[in-house]
Structure 1
Amino acid sequence: MRVPATVALGAASAGIAFYSIMDAVMKAVSIEIGAYNTLVWRLGIAVLLTGMVYAFTRPKLPSRGTMKVHFARSVLVAAMAISFFWGIVRVPLAEAIALSFIAPLIALGLAAVFLHERIGAQSVWGSLLGLAGVAVVVAGRIGGTHSHETLVGMGAVLFSAVVYAMNLVVARHQAQLAKPLEIAFFQNLFVLGLLALAAPWWLAVPAAQHWPGIGVAALLAIISLLLLSWAYARAEAQVLLPVEYTAFIWASLMGWWMFGEKVTIATVGGTILIVAGCLLAARRQRGHGAAPEAEAALS
């Protein structure tokens, strides 16, 4: 069923807001028990919740081809999620979100290399603007108070953005093959299974005081994934792209409120360059703009 673009925009905006708040909750818990344990237990709760709702709808088992798409995207999401959440423990939320915005521009480069798509002049200038923005954010961090761990954290966030760029094509294809609830259940299930491979070495049961935060993060992640999947199935990524950048506002507010993080001029300036680059490139690249990390942990 076709819906007005404003409805899809509203759903995407709400999804970004819920996801940004989830990022802050995940960071708070990850500081205490580590990104791996926070993510695995959050996924466990998410699998139970989405599984019960999904089973209630009496679904048919997805086709083998659709299951392959679910699994392929889950491999990418697992890599994105663990690297992103590991990174935000060491980097202010606003800076992490700003760096993740480079993903759509990386996707354009990957499309040119692997899909042999022609990249126009606007896309080239947009990519250069985006790279300049990343350089400004990184330079601002290096020039200010920093540690080796912070710089490594920024590298982890950038790695997450690269993997997310690879995920963009799969995400759009997946949204056209399956309904949001199916995507939510199988993605959570497969990502949990992949991360559980390291459980014998890394997994630990959280203390009682950490469970409320993990539960809230799981609920926020599910709501966000459902809203974004629903929106992207009904509107082109090109249309929804500008909404994705509201994540920076939410990240700035949550970082300031929960962790006392200050937003620097370099971070704001770099973000403006990155966003301008993405919007410039998206004007001529229908369908390649998409959420930066907004899904990075949609897992």
Structure 2
Amino acid sequence: MTRHSPTSATAFAVASIGIASYSVMDAVMKGMSIAHGAYSAVLWRSVAGVVLMLPIFLARRRPWPGREAIILHASRGIVAGASVLLFFWGLVRVPIAQGVALTFLAPLIALFLAAAMLGETIRRAAIGGSIIASLGVLAIAAGQWQAQASTETVLGSVAIVVASILYAGSLILLRRQAQIADPLEVALFTSIVLAALLMLGAPWFSAIPGIALLPGIFGSAVLGSVSAVLLAWAYRHAEAQVLAPVEYTAFLWSAILGYVVFGEYVTAWTVAGAILIIGGCLFAIRGPAAPAPQTEAAA
């Protein structure tokens, strides 16, 4: 398979739709997190995801995941779950576009995690890209300083940066996960693990949702599930470095949704920071992409 093969182009297009769906879900989840708290919003969205996907999974009569797959599902569910919870906690405190711009660090961080977890070589470009992206983070921080941001806003930004690190780890696990499980299984078990973990703290941090909250819960679950399935399919058919740039389309979606839904304006500092972070990531992954492995599952 070459870099410009139809499979790579199709995977990129599918991932783009997945990112658009996830951006709309971000807006829905921010609204619910503001009204009911991030913990409750993430918990009940995960439960709704299980309710929606489990009947489909069972109806297909596919074999139950083996031990290796269960361990991988649980590992990624924990990492991705912590990332999601921190992200929406932070998103309540910062504009959507700014929060999404900070998550663009994830693909770059993933390059370094791939070196640590998969033994890949860290290229000079990755080091240079990290320096450029760091300037982007500083630009966003400078914007907050100039605007005399509150402590809550600063803490929200820090939470999103930590969420980005965890999300980068989940991307590495997703690539491994997608090679041994189909997209529906990946999305379902991520929701199962997250819902099970958050249920442990539900008596203290959440409550049974009211009827008025159900449309938002199931709407975000549908959007999140569709996005997860599409991204899992895309990562199954193309290398992470091919798909990493598609993450950046989320900035445009978040800027539009933030303005339309929450009346948020994108500052010049945020735009400058996003450009530097995106530029750093693109600099780090420049060069020919390796072809996706041809496995029996991906055929």
Note the C-alpha offset of 1:119.
2.1
Match of 2:270 in 1: 267
Note the C-alpha offset of 1:168.
2.2
Note the C-alpha offset of 1:206.
2.4
Correspondence 1:95-106 to 2 at 5 A: 95-106=98-109
- Verify: 1:225 aligned to 2:228, yes or no: yes
- Distance in structure 1 (CA, Å) of the matches to 2:74 and 2:180: 13
- Verify: 1:38 aligned to 2:10, yes or no: no
Match of 1:296 in 2: none
Note the C-alpha offset of 1:185.
1.2
SS at structure 2 position matched to 1:245: helix
Match of 1:238 in 2: 241
- Distance in structure 1 (CA, Å) of the matches to 2:132 and 2:31: 32
- Distance in structure 2 (CA, Å) of the matches to 1:5 and 1:284: 15
Match of 1:48 in 2: 51
Indicate if the aligned counterparts of 2:242 and 2:289 stay in contact, CA closer than 8 A. no
Match of 1:58 in 2: 61
Relative to structure 1, the CA distance from residue 194 to residue 94 in structure 2 (aligned partners, 3 Å threshold; closer, same or farther) is same
Note the C-alpha offset of 1:113.
4.7
TM-score (norm 2): 0.91
Percent of paired sites with the same residue: 44
- Verify: 1:170 aligned to 2:173, yes or no: yes
SS at structure 2 position matched to 1:246: helix
Paired amino acid for 2:168: A
SS at structure 1 position matched to 2:33: helix
Paired amino acid for 1:280: F
- Verify: 1:255 aligned to 2:258, yes or no: yes
Note the C-alpha offset of 1:238.
1.8
Counterpart of 2:162 (choices 159, 162, 168) is 159
Match of 2:22 in 1: 19
Aligned length: 286
Paired amino acid for 1:130: A
- Distance in structure 1 (CA, Å) of the matches to 2:255 and 2:148: 18
Note the C-alpha offset of 1:167.
1.9
- Distance in structure 1 (CA, Å) of the matches to 2:210 and 2:149: 31
How big is each residue's C-alpha offset from its partner over 1:167-225, in whole Å with a ceiling of 9 and x where there is no partner? Answer: 22211000111000111111111111111111121121223222211111011001111
Note the C-alpha offset of 1:4.
2.9
Paired amino acid for 2:261: M
- Verify: 1:93 aligned to 2:96, yes or no: yes
Indicate if the aligned counterparts of 1:3 and 1:234 stay in contact, CA closer than 8 A. no
Match of 1:210 in 2: 213
SS at structure 1 position matched to 2:237: coil
- Distance in structure 1 (CA, Å) of the matches to 2:145 and 2:137: 12
How big is each residue's C-alpha offset from its partner over 1:104-138, in whole Å with a ceiling of 9 and x where there is no partner? Answer: 22223334455554322211111100111011011
SS at structure 1 position matched to 2:207: coil
Paired amino acid for 2:204: W
Match of 2:282 in 1: 279
Which consecutive residues of structure 1, in runs of 5 or more, have no partner in the other structure? Answer: 288-299
Match of 1:148 in 2: 151
Indicate if the aligned counterparts of 2:103 and 2:164 stay in contact, CA closer than 8 A. yes
- Structure 1 stretch 213-222 or stretch 199-208: which is displaced more? 199-208
- Distance in structure 2 (CA, Å) of the matches to 1:141 and 1:285: 37
- Distance in structure 1 (CA, Å) of the matches to 2:282 and 2:85: 28
Relative to structure 1, the CA distance from residue 71 to residue 285 in structure 2 (aligned partners, 3 Å threshold; closer, same or farther) is farther
RMSD over aligned CA atoms reads 1.6
How big is each residue's C-alpha offset from its partner over 1:134-165, in whole Å with a ceiling of 9 and x where there is no partner? Answer: 11011111211521101000011001011112
